[in-house]
Amino acid sequence: MSKGNTTKITDKLYAYMLARNPPLSDVQRELVETTYAELPEHAGMTSAEEEGPLLAFLVRLTGARHIVEVGTFTGFSALSMAQALPAGGTLIACDISEEWTAYGREAWAKAGVADRIDLRIAPALETLRAMPAEPHIDMAYLDADKSSYIAYWEELVPRMRQGGLIVTDNVLFHGAVTDPAATGAAEAIKEFNEHVVADTRMDSVMLTVADGLTLSRKR
């Protein structure tokens, strides 16, 4: 097996890459800093800095107008996508925490995109199952509890428009997906990854972005 390019991503190289990507807005930067300052034990749950510009790029690339996010935390990824939505576009954000999403609400208001984000505080499966069953979603971002990834996937895929895009985070799960004895969330991600590979409704590619990112397009 040829691994191809073996560039090691050092801190210096990571900083170089960030400096040559679209910069975060002032509100995005403030939200990231607030998340790490106020919620240090949970801050690792926020999407990586490079994922913000990437998600915005994908919104524009796909022309998405109707986005669903499963797992919002403090709202960085929702903010990134909402800022890229065209006029009249909407993002449904699914989460169960009023406390954590309160940071997002404040940031969305500051950025002037609060009217584009419909935050629904409830178990995400309930929110997804209450949506119209026919294909109507242009783009989805999945970054929630790993044990439910397959269940979320099965609710999202039938509702995706042809050509619609599902972006799934943490598919490498800190490298634990290669451990034959993986348990818990790591085992759930391994099972999810195999589920995605076998799903003939979608074309998928896995990337080594952040903690692993899978892009899946509805056939």
Task: Band the pLDDT of 2: cuts 50, 70, 90.
Answer: low
- Looking at residue 8, its pLDDT comes to 87
- Looking at residue 74, its pLDDT comes to 97
pLDDT, one tens digit per residue, over 124-160 is: 999 999 999 999 999 999 999 999 999 999 999 999 9
Q: To the nearest 5 percent, what fractions of the chain are helix, strand and coil? A: 45, 20, 30
The rounded distance, in Å, linking the Cα atoms of 61 and 104 is: 24
Question: Closest Cα partner for 30 from 124, 104, 135?
Answer: 104
Yes or no: say if 113 and 79 are a contact pair by the CB < 8 Å rule.
Answer: yes
pLDDT, one tens digit per residue, over 66-91 is: 999 999 999 999 999 999 999 999 99
- What mean pLDDT comes out for the span 176-201? 96
Q: Is 15 helix (H, G, I), strand (E, B) or coil?
A: helix
- Looking at residue 38, its pLDDT comes to 96
pTM (two decimals): 0.95
The rounded distance, in Å, linking the Cα atoms of 93 and 152 is: 13
The rounded distance, in Å, linking the Cα atoms of 184 and 26 is: 37
Crossing angle between the packed helical segments 98-111 and 26-38, to the nearest 10 degrees? 160
Yes or no: say if 152 and 142 are a contact pair by the CB < 8 Å rule.
Answer: yes
* Matching residue, tokens 């169960």: 96
pLDDT of 211 strictly over 70: yes
Mean model confidence pLDDT for the chain = 96
pLDDT of 116 strictly over 70: yes
Task: Band the pLDDT of 1: cuts 50, 70, 90.
Answer: low
- What mean pLDDT comes out for the span 155-181? 97
User: Which structural domains are found in the chain, ordered by start?
Assistant: 11-218 (3.40.50.150)
The rounded distance, in Å, linking the Cα atoms of 80 and 192 is: 25
- What mean pLDDT comes out for the span 186-196? 97
Task: Band the pLDDT of 4: cuts 50, 70, 90.
Answer: low
pLDDT of 165 strictly over 80: yes
CA atoms within a 13 Å half-sphere pointing along the CA-CB vector of 216: 26
pLDDT, one tens digit per residue, over 58-67 is: 999 999 999 9
The rounded distance, in Å, linking the Cα atoms of 210 and 48 is: 6
The neighbouring-strand residues paired with 121 are: 95
The rounded distance, in Å, linking the Cα atoms of 172 and 190 is: 8
- Looking at residue 6, its pLDDT comes to 72
